[in-house]
């Protein structure tokens, strides 16, 4: 089996309300789909879901990076995953979302060729029940409380809250949400770097934590690992690193400094499943739990995250919820039963395209 050609196309997903976080607002999510075709008729599916503020990429850079990679991928064996991903990373350094698209397409092909789902390639199923939960975007406090209450009434027992405009307003958000949903719903708070420094974050964390939260994510600027460590050592509530940890080298730095209690692993930050497993191994060796984060991917990227979530005991949660809360999905296969994601049994990722993404012939990057 060898690679014959690539199809790289644009597509966009639309949240019902703009996805707003501390560093920006996204009325649409502009992504790239990848199809890797082989000589024996198999097609591997992948997805690049960049966030410019996090990975430095755009839809254009992902599109053209994957297009340029076709020339040296043709004729290669998809099973040479380590070599192919290493070559891509060397050629297109700083494009982890584009690399993630290639990574998941290769895993999809390998799984299909062997007749097994991807989680079997990653080590098997460490769990069968995988709760998923909605995200409440950054809105005025009362609007967040109303949305959270609607989710809780709909049966969700866990919610993720986006905050980050300032300690006073953020505590008001969490307080009103807690009052709206009651004491039993689990709350997880994501600051998205919005408190910037340890001096601001430490008292802010202590204020927010009074309203019974599971953890607080990325309270300081991504590059301030010392500040993150200062917060982690000063407070009792668990602190999670997200934007401050992209690659395995970052995870090692987090472990060495004791900079966080939990690591958020996102396929689009680290370059796909292969690198995600390396980060998880570092975290496991250090006794740190992880979560599988999300950029709001379609069913393709979300299924890849779901296979990762299933494969390791170190994951406390999987936030692979894109297909449930966006319009314009390009694939099927992501299924939910009673608030839990269903582990796919089909070979590969378990995704099937049901709408053709837009043509890739658009203005150059």
Per-residue pLDDT of the chain (365 residues; tens, 9 = 90+): 999 999 999 999 999 888 899 888 899 999 999 999 999 999 999 999 999 999 999 999 999 999 999 999 999 999 999 999 999 999 988 999 999 999 999 999 999 999 999 999 999 999 878 999 999 999 999 999 999 999 999 999 999 999 999 999 999 999 999 999 999 999 999 999 999 999 999 999 999 999 999 999 999 999 999 999 999 999 999 999 999 999 999 999 999 999 999 999 999 999 999 999 999 999 999 999 999 999 999 999 999 999 999 999 999 999 999 898 899 999 999 999 888 999 999 999 999 998 666 654 443 33
Identify the CA nearest to 323 among candidates 301, 307, 340, 343: 301
Looking at residue 53, what is its pLDDT? 93
pTM of the model: 0.95
Q: Which residues does 67 contact at the CB level (< 8 Å), separation at least 6?
A: 6, 8, 360
Q: Answer yes or no: 313 catalytic.
A: no
Which among 9, 160, 162, 269 is annotated as catalytic?
A: 162
**Looking at 103, 171, 172, 217, which residue is catalytic?**
217
pLDDT at 362: 40
Examine domains 3-117 and 121-352 and report if their fold is the same: no
pLDDT tens string 106-116: 999 999 999 99
CB 34, CB 203: distance < 8 Å: no
pLDDT tens by residue, 129-155: 899 999 999 999 999 999 999 999 999
User: Residue 47 class from Cβ within 10 Å (0-12 exposed, 13-18 middle, 19+ buried)?
Assistant: buried
Catalytic, 190? Answer: yes
Q: What is the CATH number of domain 3-117?
A: 3.30.390.10
| Cβ atoms 36, 109 nearer than 8 A | yes
Which pLDDT score, from 0 to 100, does residue 128 have? 78
Please give the pLDDT value at position 276.
98
Report d(CA 295, CA 299) in Å as an integer: 12
Q: Is 116 exposed, middle or buried (0-12, 13-18, 19+ CB in 10 A)?
A: middle
Catalytic residue flag (residue 266): yes
**Residue of 51, 266, 269, 297 marked active site:** 266
Q: What is the mean pLDDT of the chain?
A: 95
Write down the catalytic residue from 47, 57, 221, 242.
Answer: 242
Listed by start position, the domains of the chain span 3-117, 121-352
Catalytic residue among 190, 221, 230, 250: 190
Res 361: pLDDT: 43
Known active-site residue 170: no
Residue 217 designated active-site? yes
> What CATH number does the domain located at 121-352 have?
3.20.20.120
pLDDT of residue 17: 86
């Amino acid at each position: 089996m060898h690679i014959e050609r690539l199809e790289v196309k644009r597509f966009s997903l639309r949240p019902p309300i703009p996805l707003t976080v501390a560093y920006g607002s996204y009325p649409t999510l502009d992504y790239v789909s990848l199809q890797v075709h082989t000589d024996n008729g198999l097609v591997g599916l992948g997805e690049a879901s960049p966030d410019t503020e996090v990975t430095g990429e755009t839809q254009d850079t992902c599109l053209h990076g994957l297009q340029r990679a076709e020339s040296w991928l043709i004729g290669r064996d998809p099973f040479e995953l380590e070599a192919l991903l290493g070559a891509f990373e060397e050629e297109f350094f700083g494009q982890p979302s584009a690399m993630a698209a290639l990574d998941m397409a290769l895993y999809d092909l390998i799984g299909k060729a062997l007749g097994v789902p991807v989680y079997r390639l990653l080590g098997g199923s460490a769990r069968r029940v995988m709760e998923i939960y909605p995200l409440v975007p950054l809105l005025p406090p009362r609007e967040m409380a109303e949305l959270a209450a609607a989710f809780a009434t709909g049966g969700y027992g866990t919610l993720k809250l986006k905050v980050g405009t300032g300690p006073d307003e953020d505590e008001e958000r969490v307080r009103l949400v807690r009052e709206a949903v009651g004491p039993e719903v689990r709350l997880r708070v994501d600051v998205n770097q919005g408190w910037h420094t340890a001096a601001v974050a430490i008292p802010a964390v202590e204020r927010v934590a009074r309203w019974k939260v599971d953890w607080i994510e990325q309270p300081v600027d991504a590059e301030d690992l010392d500040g993150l460590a200062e917060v982690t050592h000063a407070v009792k509530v668990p602190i999670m690193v997200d934007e401050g940890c992209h690659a395995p080298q970052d995870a090692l730095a987090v472990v060495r400094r004791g900079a966080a209690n939990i690591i958020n692993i996102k396929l689009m930050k680290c370059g796909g499943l292969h690198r995600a497993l390396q980060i998880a191994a570092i975290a496991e060796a250090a006794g740190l739990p992880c979560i599988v984060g999300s950029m709001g991917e379609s069913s393709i990227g979300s299924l890849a995250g779901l296979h990762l979530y299933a494969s390791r005991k170190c994951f406390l949660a999987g936030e692979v919820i894109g297909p449930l809360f966006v319009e314009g999905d390009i694939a099927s296969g992501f299924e939910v039963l009673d608030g839990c994601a269903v582990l796919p049994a089909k070979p590969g990722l378990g995704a099937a395209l049901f709408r053709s993404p837009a043509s890739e012939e658009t203005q150059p990057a």
